[in-house]
């Protein structure tokens, strides 16, 4: 057997293993127990290779992390969707084929239920990609670059080096001495401890910034061996920059969405309460410098570095070309991104996505109207049980996410009898728009009955 193909075969075996997990509940795979065994195995394989003076502490950190991942799976953090997985695997397969030096034996990619466009490498071979990444990107080319970036993290052992650095920092003679001194202090122990934590955190964050640029470089080297368009690396990063500033930036115009002839929008649904302080930032006499630092370097710096180091040239004319293969994946991800918000009762995220995706024609009007009625029904039930606040937080004046804040204000300000009336008004709207209400008959009957 050709060495070049053996990792691919192993990879394909893993794909079969992971995709076989899909079940009626897309959040908990049928073969959860064997998946746990698999994750434990790759974690152990990774741990076994760790040696050196601090190895026991580093191993402990990885074991803790493994435990948390397993808990997350049980908490419906991930989605096991065959369509997304299949499309993702095609991209992975091509990356591995183009880069035979990659050994994906212990690699496994999980799809996380999160609207935030992000991906992560856990170090032991586990990777996660947020649904939000699929929905924000525009092509397999862009997705391939992000994947190459994450694989680069693994090949460069950034996770292991990061944990090693952290463990070494914390166990250094200097830190131990500082901790001893703090313990001996009669006065001001907490402030002194906070100062040490701050110093340690700054060092750790500095390292985190360095490695992102490194992963971009190696990631681009791997990416450039694929058939994918090179400038896509820049476009992918730039899309992340846009969302880095604000994920929920679409003007949802809630006052027009919920303005009905039979029940007009009420301005007090968006009424805010007086705040204790007039400040745009949190006031904190105990704030740490490290709290203000970012984990990633500025995207602009990363884009310029790629252009400079690899002479990447933009192909503006190709920007308008639609990657139809990717659009399928994007469509499923869009639908799944809405669905997980419904399933986990994150009604604010569900509402934002419904309006945004409908306005951008990412979902059909039939889907939009039927899901909106379902959302109103769930809002009614959650309010009735005094549980809405568990799933939809109140508005946060310090958040940059103005649109999400507006939705939160709206949902939380609504009274039960107002949801009841909005629900009925929406059902009437659907009737007028001649939407197929076959699957909604129970909810429509419900709103009719409570309005009688």
Partner 1 sequence: MRKFLTLICLSIISFSLNAQEKTLKEITSLKMKNIGALMDKNNDVDGYYFYYEVDKLKKGKREYAIKMLDNNLNDIATKSYIDEKNTILADSKFNNQALMFTMINVKERQYKLVSFDKKGERGKDVLIDVNKKEMKWLNLMVKTGNFNMLLPVDNKGFLFNYVKNNEKLGYGLKYIATDGGTTWDYNSPEDSEEILAINPIEVNEKVIVALEASRKSLFSQTIKFKVLVIDIETGKLLFEKEFDRENNPRLITNAFLSNENEVVLLGEYYKKGDNIIKAKSLGIFAQINNLDGKVISDNKVSWEDKIDKMMPTGLDGKDSNRGYVYFHDIVRTQKGTYYCIGEKYRKTASGAGIASLALGGSGSATQLTITDAMVFEFNNNFDLNNIEVFKKGKSRAPSLIDFGSPQLNAHALKAFGAFDYEFTQIDTDRDRFYANFIDYERLKGEKNKLAFKTIMYNEGKLSEDKIYLEKDSKKIELRVLPAKLGHVMLMEYNKKEKTLDIHLEKLNI
Binding stretches for partner 1 (CB under 8 A): 57, 60-61, 64, 166-167, 170-171, 175-176, 179, 182-183, 186-191, 193-194, 196-197, 273-279, 282-286, 383-384, 386-390, 393-398, 412-417
- HSE at residue 446, side-chain half, CA atoms within 13 A, is 16
Q: How many CB atoms lie within 10 A of CB 38?
A: 18
166/357 with CB nearer partner 1: 166
At its nearest, how many Å lie between partner 1 and the CB of residue 290? 11
CB of 443 within 8 A of CB of 374?
A: yes
101/190 with CB nearer partner 1: 190
How remote is the C-alpha of 321 from its chain's centroid? 26
Q: How many residues does the chain have?
A: 452
Q: Which residues, including other chains, have CB under 8 Å from residue 12's CB and lie 6 or more apart? A: 93
At its nearest, how many Å lie between partner 1 and the CB of residue 186? 7
For residues 355 and 256, what is the distance between their CA atoms, to the nearest angstrom? 11
Q: What is the DSSP letter of 128?
A: E
For residues 287 and 243, what is the distance between their CA atoms, to the nearest angstrom? 26
239/383 with CB nearer partner 1: 383
187/324 with CB nearer partner 1: 187
At its nearest, how many Å lie between partner 1 and the CB of residue 282? 6
For residues 448 and 452, what is the distance between their CA atoms, to the nearest angstrom? 6
At its nearest, how many Å lie between partner 1 and the CB of residue 80? 26
274/452 with CB nearer partner 1: 274
At its nearest, how many Å lie between partner 1 and the CB of residue 385? 9
For residues 297 and 306, what is the distance between their CA atoms, to the nearest angstrom? 13
At its nearest, how many Å lie between partner 1 and the CB of residue 378? 15
286/324 with CB nearer partner 1: 286
At its nearest, how many Å lie between partner 1 and the CB of residue 99? 34
At its nearest, how many Å lie between partner 1 and the CB of residue 41? 24
For residues 287 and 198, what is the distance between their CA atoms, to the nearest angstrom? 9
HEC secondary structure over 211-263: HHHHHHHHHHHHHHCCCCCCCHHHHHHHHHHHHHHCCCCCCCCHHHHCCCCCC
262/284 with CB nearer partner 1: 284
Task: State the maximum Cα–Cα separation within the chain, in Å, rounded to a whole number.
Answer: 76
Helix (H, G, I), strand (E, B) or coil at 183: helix
182/257 with CB nearer partner 1: 182
79/414 with CB nearer partner 1: 414
At its nearest, how many Å lie between partner 1 and the CB of residue 411? 10
Q: Which residues, including other chains, have CB under 8 Å from residue 25's CB and lie 6 or more apart? A: none
């Amino acid at each position: 057997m050709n060495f070049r193909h053996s990792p691919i075969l192993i990879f394909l075996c893993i794909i079969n293993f992971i995709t076989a997990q899909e079940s009626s509940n897309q959040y908990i795979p049928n073969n959860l127990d064997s998946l746990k065994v698999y994750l434990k195995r790759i974690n152990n394989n990774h741990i076994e290779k760790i040696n050196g003076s601090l190895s026991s502490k580093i191993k402990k950190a990885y074991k803790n992390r493994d435990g948390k991942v397993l808990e997350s799976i049980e908490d419906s953090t991930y989605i096991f969707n065959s369509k997304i997985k299949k499309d993702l695997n095609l991209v992975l397969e091509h990356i591995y084929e183009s880069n035979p030096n990659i050994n994906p034996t212990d690699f496994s990619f999980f799809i996380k239920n999160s609207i935030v466009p992000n991906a992560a490498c856990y170090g032991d071979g586990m990777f996660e990609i947020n649904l939000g990444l699929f929905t924000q990107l525009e092509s397999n080319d862009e997705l391939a670059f992000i994947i190459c970036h994450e694989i680069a993290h693994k090949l460069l052992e950034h996770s292991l080096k990061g944990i090693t650095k952290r463990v070494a920092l914390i166990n250094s003679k200097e830190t131990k001495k500082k901790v001893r001194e703090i313990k001996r202090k009669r006065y001001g122990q907490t402030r002194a401890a906070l100062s040490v934590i701050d110093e340690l955190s700054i060092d750790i964050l500095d390292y985190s910034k360095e490695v992102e640029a490194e992963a971009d470089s190696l990631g681009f080297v791997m990416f450039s061996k694929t058939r994918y368009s090179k400038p896509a690396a820049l476009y992918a990063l730039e899309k992340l920059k846009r969302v880095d500033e604000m994920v929920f930036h679409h003007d949802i115009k809630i006052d027009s969405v919920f303005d009905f002839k039979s029940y007009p929008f009420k301005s007090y649904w968006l009424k805010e309460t007086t705040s204790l302080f007039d400040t745009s930032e949190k006031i904190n006499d105990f704030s740490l410098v490290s709290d203000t630092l970012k984990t990633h370097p500025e995207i602009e710096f990363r884009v310029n570095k790629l252009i400079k180091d690899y002479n990447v040239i933009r192909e503006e004319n190709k920007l308008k070309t639609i990657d139809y293969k990717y659009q399928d994946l994007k469509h499923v991800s869009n639908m799944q991104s809405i669905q997980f918000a419904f399933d986990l009762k994150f009604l604010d995220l569900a509402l934002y996505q419904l309006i945004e995706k409908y306005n951008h024609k990412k979902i059909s009007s039939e889907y939009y109207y039927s899901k909106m009625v379902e959302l109103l029904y769930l809002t009614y039930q959650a309010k009735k049980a005094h549980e809405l606040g568990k799933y939809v937080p109140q508005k946060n004046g310090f958040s940059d996410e103005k649109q999400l804040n507006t939705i939160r204000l709206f949902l939380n300000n609504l009274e039960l009898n107002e949801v009841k009336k909005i629900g009925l008004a929406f059902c009437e709207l659907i009737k007028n728009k001649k939407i197929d209400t076959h699957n909604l008959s129970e909810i429509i009957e419900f709103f009719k009955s409570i309005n009688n």
